[in-house]
Structure 1
Amino acid sequence: MVRASSSSNWLPAINAYYLGVPFPIEKAHIRNITAFNDNGNGGVDTKEKSKEMVKNCHYKERNHKDQSLFSAHKRLVALFVDSKSLSVDLKATILLFITSSFHHCCPSLHQFHMAPAQLLLVFLTIVLRFVSAQQNDGSVSVGASLTATSNLKPWLSSSGEFAFGFQQVKGTDNFLLSIWYDKIPDKTIIWYPEEGRMVPTGSKVELLRESGLVLTDPQGTEVWRSGSISGVASGFMNDTGNFVVFGGNSRKLWGSYDFPANTLLPTQVMERGGGMNSTISDANFSGGRFQLRLLPDGNLVLNTRDTLSGNTYDAYYISGTYDDSNSTNSGKQVIFDATGYMYILRRNGQRFDLTPRGSLPSGDYYHRATLDSDGVFRQYYFPKNPTSNTTWKVIWFVPDNICVDINDDSNTGACGFNNVCSFDGNQPNCECPQGFSLLDPNNPSGDCKPHFTPTCDEVGSNNGEDMFDFIELDNTDWPFSDYVHMNPSNENTCKSSCLEDCFCAVAIYRDTQCWKKKLPLSNGRKVASANVKAFIKYRIGDQPLKNPLGLPGKNKDRRTLIVVGSVLLGTSVFVIFVLTGVICVGFFVIYKKKPINTYSIRKAVETNLPSFTYQELVEATDGFKDELGKGGFGIVYKGVIGKKIVAVKKLNTVVHDSDKEFKTEVDTIAKTHHKNLVQLLGYCDEGDQRLLVYEYMSNGTLAMFLFGDSRPTWRQRSHIAVGIAKGLAYLHEECSTQIIHCDIKPQNILLDDYFNAKISDFGMAKLLMLNQSHTNTGIRGTKGYLAPEWFRNTPVTVKVDVYSFGVLLLEIISCRKSLVFESDDEGMVVLTDLAWDCYQEGRLEAFVENDMEALNDHKKLATFVMVGLWCVQENSSLRPTMRKVNQMLEGGIEVDF
């Protein structure tokens, strides 16, 4: 852009043009017209050519023909209009300047009898034409921005085939910054920033001179940026699908091709050491379990990984392009050329084919190679002139059968724990076996949880077939997880042995052999052999129903239900009408005589959750006998509804505002859906009785887990910490109504069957609309976890949760409580002080009490401690957001030590 200080120098030229008065151009104006080059918006050649063009027009002898001057002007106009590094505003200004000067240096123009107004009309027509062309040539000016809305107009490539902007994620209100095929009906996404973080409506991406591309949320918090770059001159969305950021002299600073998400495109190259991750699912673009890498040794591999730590497992596809006897025969690059042909280029120049040569001409088809969420690497094509209902077709894929090609007992396999993989054509399918359901309903290839209780529990030893039975699955196997192998055996012996063994969850029988296995089960798969059987053991009375609440009637024979229902329907219509009339008259008589008050008539809770009568919950909890825990607003009891174990929270009726707390909790939790939040299953709102029904968490509270007799593993603790951070980030930033928890502590974190953290107790949550930043409330929370602002009569924001999480994170790291009053050492009383001292003195081994697993993972340990200390800063504005915390804990943002 031309410097702001020189803008006034253009006014005489503009005024002269509007007035039709000749205006001689001075050398100062020549300097101004080329000033954009000094700011990195053009090359030396462009600067010299522009000066020469102007000199040709204004400083040559007057005996030059007007036609030659006109041609010089045309060349000058074309030079600036064709430039891809100039902004629209700068082009328009330069065109106005050139046109004004042309009016002076071409006096014969008047022979066309064109008045100034006519000249202006012609000029504006030209400018509008060029501005329109500029908007579609792929160029993006410094300062340009896009805001995430449903009617967003993206930055398009010149052909319109690719678009850069925000795309709304199906089934959510969130958006993904991405690049996509814009001429394909489903707008197929081919790039997004690492880890695929979704952002809410109102988020913005901007091209900044000193930062490059920067993505911020509606509150202005930075979510992502395109590396550490500066001196940005422009951006360009080109027709290969690569968005490039340029510096001065058209020097490339950053390109999306260099950071592939889960897709490669024609003309894209992957170097040694490069790679990309799958997504978790089609609707969740976070980094998934599968990874494609070109290793430093030259092999192209597919492998699974631990999404928490980033650790990789054994490869399930290897290209074989590593030659230890001849390094020049090893792979150097993965090349996806413009014709749609993909191969590995060896260091000696030879090629290792990945896709068939000459598969389809790229001029007629779009191509992409994607590592899909199921772990299969596929190359697709799509016709550029499609008919109706055209979809992407697969040319090639690896591995041949991912269900059996993954054989690593250190991870879950193609599907999650307890899940079963079957391969149909080129598509693996994951399905929970009977008696199990998905831990995350939005991730069909994820872990499956059992609907029945573990076989070894507080009830004591089992009595074999009197207490247990089997669900039998044909042609199903989990090849790992066994702890006993019996050979020879027969089917009855195999089953009996499992029934009498409280550790046995599943028995596999095949060819006179029996394998007994514990949960969780890994690498589940359907097998072709017809003589393989899996026997899943469940406690009689715990066999799950399809209805999560176990409502009666779901297990009945369908035809019987239809017959009985038809008879009842035919005989009950008249009765319903009569009863309805009687009830209406009865209510009218009763309430006409009785004053209306807030205790006799209560507003119905606006939710679609099932409601229960108080008596139903009394029976479900056996008279509220089995107490699980107690909080400030109620007691939680264990119960059974249908055949499903649940947790029933009974709110204290003596608390003045418990009714308000009840309404808050039901209305907010019913609208939240996240794998790290406890699921609300139902409620009771009867008279003065307020009860909530939750899913039951078999492993209790985090407090019991952390501060018990044995120390949990470092991997378990770090996994729990990240889960809590994700849950809080969801409450703060991803709900339609912002939620402050106000009482984050280990007692309010529950653990499911697989020790996944779930945040509970929203009874003390306060809601914030998205256009608010704070709320006023009385002090809430627990000593040791309270942020300083609770005691200062200052506004309470989501940063109080960040503070509490910081304390909790330090507890998780050290397995110590936040306050230990009985300690004789004064420095050990407050955990945050101990953490700071240990960190400052470089004694992390003292903080974790020589936990070797944690100390061997020193970088993560130091990161976690640093993040915890950052969260507990006294000044709330200095604390990070929970989104930022999550990014640091997962390694998405580097933490400097």
Structure 2
Amino acid sequence: MGSFHPFFFTIFLSCALVSCSNPSSGFIYPNFTSKGIHFVDGFVGFLTSVNETFKAAMINPFGQTNFYLCIVHMASNAVTWSANRDAPVSNAGAMNLSVTGIIITDQDGSLKWSTPRFNSSVSALQLTETGNLVLLDQSNATLWESFHYPTDTIVIGQKLPVGVYLSSAASSTDLSVGSYWLSLTSSDALLQWQNLTYWKLSMDTNAYKTSTYPVEYMAMNQTGLYLFSNNGAVVVIEVNLSVSDFGIAKLDYSGQFSVSSFSGTDWEQVFAGPGDKCQTPFVCGTLGLCTDGAASGNPLCSCPLNFHYSSPSQNPTVCVPSDGSYSLSNSCNSSNNNNSTGNSSSVTYLSLGYGIDYFANDFTSPVKYGINLSVCEDLCSQNCSCLGIFYDNSSDSCYVLENQLGSVMSSASNNNDRLGFVKVIVGPSPANFAPNKDEALGFPIVALVLLPFIGLFLLAALGFFLWRRSTSSKTGKIHLNSQTLPSSEELDAFSIPGLPVKFGYAELEAATDNFKTMIGSDRSLFGNGPVLEWQERVDIALGTARGLAYLHSGCQQKIIHCDVKPENILLHDHFQAKISDFGLSKLLSSEQSGLFTTMRGTRGYLAPEWLTSSAISDKTDVYSFGMVLLEIVSGRKNCSLRTRSGSMNDESSGGGYSSSSSGQGVVYFPMFALEMHEQGRYLELADPRLDGRVTSEDVEKLVRVALCCAHEDPTLRPNMVSVVSMLEGETPSGEPRLESLNFLRFYGRRFAEASTAEEYNGQDEFVFPQFNQSITSSRGTLHFNFSYMSSQQVSGPR
């Protein structure tokens, strides 16, 4: 017998481990395990679709040591989905399919990724011909599918619904989540970086808007990319593409969203947004100047005037001041922050020169209008998050750049009136500064010398304060409830810069007309004074909408006000709206779309999700704004007393309202507005005190916006940015969805029934008894168990 060659033994052992058979076609079943080491030498995968269009495999797509559970298009070898993109495993890591789902563990057995828990056992894992990985139960019902958890790619046949987003990879060789996001709103598809929008599908020259219906999902087929509504029956925006058998839409690690088709052996890019790569936020690194390289098709990177590369080999690049006596300011979120709002004298600004713009300027609103450059710089100096500004000479408006600086770009227009300035610190950056040995050793000695003097100063200040208290009768002190409070002069003397403004007793006395006027009630809409003209009402509505839009999308963290009502909209002398009273507000991080919290807000403005213990989101404020908008239109509370003669007797409205009904009770105005909208009788909704000084078209516009905001289903409500656009006339008013507004009829009936159980409370609201109710609506069965309370019982002026 001949000797056994070691090479053949190795092949035999590998075949024993891998089972060297063809991968399963279409399905695999529980108690299946696959390891990354099986695929080092190009093993095709453990599961393919029936026609071998896609495969599922534990692979290292970049030939490194990181392995991922991936779905791969076999002909092109393109990764279309990955499970553990933020938790790769070694080549000895394993994917295990059991009756509880899929788990991925590393060599030491540590859990890296898993599917969620299910109510029934897993019977099979299927890979479909569209590239969808699906877990099935014994009745072939779907328990989980990869299409519902996209990474950076969607394929033909896959839907990307509103509320789900694509996130880019970190780099060309790293599948982990990067810095760019593609998300859908009710009207558009957006690309964002650091919460800043830098591209909208509707603004692309290849996109066509065909409907104003609210967007439900994005999808693509062999002929184009679409935003659909009405379960796919209505196309809202479309991008027509050349016919292809297979295509993908992908958010690249560079921040560009593209559609590519595959034919035979090659990929062809057929659509890209933004089309100009210089409009992607970080294409040239921090403060890098991007110039279109027309010949090569790739952008050219350099540094602006007054700046140079900190290190030519650094990637990504950073442009820093050429003058070494200046250093870039760090955001207050940075661990090595060298900017202090209390030391603005050390701050100055370096110009970027003419013909330079920032990617986000066309997608954000200025923080201030009608100011000069000096005031714009002061706004930035007092904000540690502000790293630079752009000032528009033509409109005297100020844009701020916050938290992190991206690339700048050569402006497409020679007439660009925006001038960019970067905030810098005078002196070397503390990050690059290290004290010498003598200075480091000298610090404790200095501290020991100074601390006694500081202590003596604090004792002297305390003694002075106590002495002033003892002479209260001579220093203008005030006495409330037998307690002595310091005067406004003393408060000013001990104030800390940066804290909210402190108002003295005399100031409050003057502001409230000797405490006769209650703040937070600020009469213009519901009072008996001069009637607000229609344009003033529109301006107030628009100002409020802009304020809420800023809270929802203009801040680093999304702010949900939670108590939008007329009492919390204060008016400037010229009726400029100011949103106030943030005592109930909630913050949402960039990863959160909503949160659960106890009920808060004011009866009459609470969205249905408050009452059904659902998660609240920025759409909760949108509902409240819709209720406020109806009150702005009518000049009266949404719930008012109806006399036996049929007229409206809202004591706070200052006007009457005719109704065809008779008898005493409650009229729920949102229900009436819905009915008048259905009949096209919009003038009957306007404040009768306007007496013909408003047109039906004007009222219709605001009523349509209000009803769209009041949809029962939060996903059907527009966001506040879209509301601003509709009020400004940039986009058409939305089309209210009646099936999502029928709950208003139920509310109206309950208000009417409850009004017979308890009398009007003599104020501007009713107090209703508790009731339990279940109703069937467009969102299924809703269960209510709550008490109607007055505003002051839930929220009120504070």
**Smaller-chain TM-score range?**
0.3 to 0.5
Under a length normalisation based on structure 2, what TM-score does the superposition of the two structures give?
0.40
Q: Which has the higher contact order (CA 8 A, sep 6+)?
A: 2
Task: State which structure, 1 or 2, has the greater radius of gyration over its C-alpha atoms.
Answer: 1
Higher helix fraction (1 or 2): 1
Could you tell me the TM-score, scaled by structure 1's length?
A: 0.36
